[in-house]
Amino acid sequence: MNLGAFGNYVLPMVVLLIIGVALFKNVSLFDTFIEGAKDGIILGFQVFPCLLGMIFGINLLLRSHLISDILGLFSPLFSLFNFPKEILPLAFIRPISGNASFAMMIDIFKTYGVDSYLGRIAAVMQGATDTTIYVISLYFGSIGIKNIRYALKAGLFADFVTLVISVLLVSLLF
Amino acid sequence: MVNKIWGSFIVIGLFYGFITGKIDMMNQEIIECGSSSFELFFSMFPMMILWSGIMKIAQEAGILEFLSRLLRPFFSLIFPELKKDDPALQYIASNLTINMLGIHNASTPFGLKAMKCLQEENPKKDTASKSMITFLVLNTSGVTLIATDILAVRSGMGSVNPTDLLLVTILATILNTTFALLMNAYLGRRER
């Protein structure tokens, strides 16, 4: 089976399943939908300030190019360990901004090729983890958590593991 | 903590921008940030409304409960502090399921709702509870099994076999989630 085409079925199937079961169980579908959708509006407005604030901070940091400049300084060190340093900017941006890292992944595809070693690492890394800082600020911001304890540590640890695992797996398997 | 991170992003970004002569870029960002986040918001907002509606239907039809019952063994392992029938688990189960299918915008309402439920049981309202952090780690480590957006880009850019990374990505996801949960359990125990 072509799994790429399978991807197209995911969303419609989920909708079909939910609505189908509900129809079968005699849920008053449209009323319930409207009721839930109203909650969605409130939820959206609650989330927007977090979103705006986070994008503001993240973009200022990204646009200053501080991260890429720092990585440039360390690149001889990574070549020493035979580590694909071209992937590092992506690894650093991945926990901070999903959109920026997605754009970087496409950039790596364009520069080195979709099916290249680097292209594959980029794709696995982008797919296997989610945006830590974004999730923390959105989820905790929406309920007013100020002390996040060890959440950032644990989240960034996951991102670091993903970097190592992506490089290892792609090196071993392709 | 979030306060400090946010503040340092801005101060460090602006400061480094100044000394490297990117004042134009900084100006542009401050001016355009509003509209660019509005754009992102409006690409998410209708999805959130739609999926909050569908979520309510799924809840009424008992699908959320079914999902959380299905994932119960896993949940009792990683959320030992929550009751078996905790309402938050329903939303967590749905959030995870939809995330696994790679529909991130649709999963956000479930995740926010789960956090709200967890907050109700949280004794210290401004401090993250253990279960909140575990749920967060699950989310940030990523549980996507089929990353449809990446698949689409790879096939669009002429990959010979766009799906050949599917199993590798799933393997990477499982491994990093496992490690992240172990780390989370360790950090949680250490801080108590």
Contacts of A35 in chain B (CB under 8 A): 53, 56
A-proximal residues of B, 97-116, CB under 8 Å: 98-99, 101-104, 106, 108-109, 111-113, 115-116
Whether B55 maps to a domain, the answer reads no
Whether residues B61 and A60 touch (CB distance < 8 A) is answered with no
Going by pLDDT thresholds of 50, 70 and 90, the confidence category of residue A8 is low
Q: Are residues B36 and B123 in the same domain?
A: no
pLDDT at A24 over 70: yes
ipTM surpasses 0.95: no
Comparing C-alpha atoms, which of A65, A72, A124 is closest to residue B21?
A65
Q: Are residues B186 and B97 in the same domain?
A: yes
Q: Are residues B72 and B111 in the same domain?
A: yes
Residues spanned by the domain of B11 = 1-44
Contacts of B49 in chain A (CB under 8 A): 37, 40-41, 44
Going by pLDDT thresholds of 50, 70 and 90, the confidence category of residue B1 is low
Contacts of A150 in chain B (CB under 8 A): 133, 184, 187-188, 191
Per the structure, the count of domains in chain B is 2
Q: Which of A19-23, A33-37, A64-68, B12-16 has the lowest mean pLDDT?
A: A64-68
Q: Are residues B68 and B140 in the same domain?
A: yes
Whether residues A64 and B14 touch (CB distance < 8 A) is answered with yes
Q: Are residues B105 and B181 in the same domain?
A: yes
Q: Are residues B160 and B106 in the same domain?
A: yes
Q: Are residues B35 and B77 in the same domain?
A: no
Q: Are residues B32 and B86 in the same domain?
A: no
Whether B56 maps to a domain, the answer reads no
Q: Are residues B82 and B144 in the same domain?
A: yes
Q: Are residues B30 and B80 in the same domain?
A: no
Mean pLDDT, residues B146-158? 80
B64-100 pLDDT, tens per residue? 888 888 888 999 999 999 998 888 999 999 899 888 8
Q: Which residues pair with A147 in a beta bridge?
A: B127
Q: Are residues B76 and B123 in the same domain?
A: yes
Quick one: three-class SS letters along chain B?
Answer: CHHHHHHHHHHHHHHHHHHCCCHHHHHHHHHHHHHHHHHHHHHHHHHHHHHHHHHHHHHHCCHHHHHHHHCHHHHHHHCCCCCCCCHHHHHHHHHHHHHHCCCHHHHHHHHHHHHHHHHHHCCCCCECCHHHHHHHHHHHHCCCCCCHHHHHHHHHCCCCCHHHHHHHHHHHHHHHHHHHHHHHHHHHHHHC
Q: Are residues B73 and B167 in the same domain?
A: yes
